[in-house]
């Protein structure tokens, strides 16, 4: 009779121990979820920031190229040959006095 | 008797172990389910963050490029305007020279006066000139010569009041109700858009 009581006691202990382990696992779930969620969102945010930084860099390089082109264009229109300038003045006078 | 008891004891313990295994399996499945659900939700949110990334990146590049293009365009237009303004100053300087040269200026002045007289619907007209031209042409046959170039019976008198002008004339009816401005400044103002277009065509051919 004693052996049966002991066996039932051992059986209860096994069940209690398992229930306790599972409860602990469940209790830890919110922490695991929060950590996993943070990890996933952080990676996405990092990917976004890195892509935007690359785009800024590309934009800045393109802007620099446009700026250099613009400077060349300005230099070229600033160096008008005096003969051409005289031709423009002559044409204006001709129109004005006609 | 003892063998039967031992078997009973073993059965009790085995049953507990089996039940414990079921509880563990169920518990673990629940935990995994919750984690998988949360992972799917976090992944959806992460996708949302990166969903429009290509469009955002293109917008960043396009914004920088269009800002620079706008800046370049404004700088180009400012330089072009500066050059045009300089050329217009040259034109004005050339006009001053033109007015000092009597052989070219007098025919122009005669033509301007004749145009003015022609445009005034009055028999008697007044012709106003700059102070310099009044001094230069007073007592000369300037008005007679101007009238002689036209088929008209109109008469013209020289106004004593000088004009603020580089050259040319202002013709008015006797009562001053009608005035025709034939000065160089008026011509310059009137033809400025055309002059700028012509100058641009020569200086900035595209």
Region of B107 on the Ramachandran plot (φ > 0 left; ψ -120 to 50 alpha; else beta): alpha
Local structure of residue B70 (DSSP, 8 states) = H
Interface check B80 vs A, CB under 8 A? yes
Query: For B166-205, how does the pLDDT look when each residue is reduced to its tens digit (9 = 90+)?
Result: 999 999 999 999 999 999 999 999 999 999 999 999 999 8
pLDDT in tens, chain A (98 residues): 788 899 999 999 999 999 999 999 999 999 999 999 999 999 999 999 999 999 999 999 999 999 999 999 999 999 989 999 999 999 999 999 98
Using CB atoms, pick whichever of A19, A29, A96 lies closest to residue B195.
Answer: A96
Interchain CB distance below 8 Å, B87 and A92: yes
Determine how many CB atoms are found less than 10 A away from the CB of residue B197: 10
Interface check B9 vs A, CB under 8 A? yes
Identify the pLDDT of residue A98: 85
CA distance B127 to chain A (A): 19
Instruction: List the single residue in B with minimal CA-CA distance to A38.
Output: B42
| Chain A CB contacts of B87 below 8 Å | 85, 88-89, 92
Cα–Cα dist B5/B11, whole Å: 10
Cα–Cα dist B78/A74, whole Å: 10
| Chain B CB contacts of A4 below 8 Å | 5, 8-9, 12
Question: What is the pLDDT confidence band of residue B52, given thresholds at 50, 70 and 90?
Answer: confident
Tell me how far CA of residue B50 lies from CA of A47, A64, B55, B77, B114, in angstroms: 8, 28, 10, 41, 78
Interface check A20 vs B, CB under 8 A? no
Helices (H) and strands (E) in chain B, counts: 6, 4
Helices (H) and strands (E) in chain A, counts: 2, 0
- Reported in sequence order, the residue ranges of B122-188 that DSSP labels E, i.e. its strands, are 124-128, 155-158, 168-173, 179-183
CA distance B122 to chain A (A): 26
Cα–Cα dist B133/A31, whole Å: 99
């Amino acid at each position: 009779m004693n052996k049966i009581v002991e066996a039932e006691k051992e059986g209860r202990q096994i069940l209690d121990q398992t229930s306790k382990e599972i409860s602990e696992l469940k209790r830890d779930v919110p922490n695991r979820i929060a950590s996993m969620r943070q990890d996933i969102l952080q990676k996405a945010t990092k990917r976004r920031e890195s892509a935007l930084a690359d785009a800024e860099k590309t934009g800045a390089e393109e802007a620099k190229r446009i700026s250099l082109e613009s400077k060349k264009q300005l230099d070229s229109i600033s160096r008008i040959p005096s003969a051409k300038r005289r031709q423009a003045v002559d044409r204006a006078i001709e129109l004005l006095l006609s | 008797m003892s063998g039967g008891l031992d078997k009973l004891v073993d059965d009790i313990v085995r049953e507990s172990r089996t039940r414990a295994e079921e509880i563990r399996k169920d518990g673990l499945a629940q935990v995994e389910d919750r984690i998988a659900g949360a992972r799917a939700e976090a992944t959806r949110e992460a996708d949302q963050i990166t969903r429009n990334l290509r469009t955002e990146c293109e917008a960043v590049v396009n914004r920088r490029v269009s800002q620079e293009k706008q800046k370049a365009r404004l700088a180009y237009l400012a330089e072009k305007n500066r050059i045009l303004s300089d050329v217009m100053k040259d034109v004005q300087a050339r006009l001053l020279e033109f007015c000092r040269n009597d052989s070219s200026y007098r025919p122009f002045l005669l033509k301007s006066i004749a145009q003015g007289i022609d445009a005034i619907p009055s028999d008697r007209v007044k012709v106003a000139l700059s102070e310099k031209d009044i001094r230069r042409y007073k007592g000369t046959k300037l008005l007679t010569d101007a009238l002689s170039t036209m088929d008209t019976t109109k008469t013209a008198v020289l106004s004593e009041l000088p004009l603020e002008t580089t050259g040319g004339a202002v013709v008015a009816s006797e009562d001053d109700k009608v005035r025709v401005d034939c000065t160089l400044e008026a011509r310059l103002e009137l033809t400025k858009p055309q002059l700028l277009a012509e100058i641009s065509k020569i200086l900035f051919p595209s």
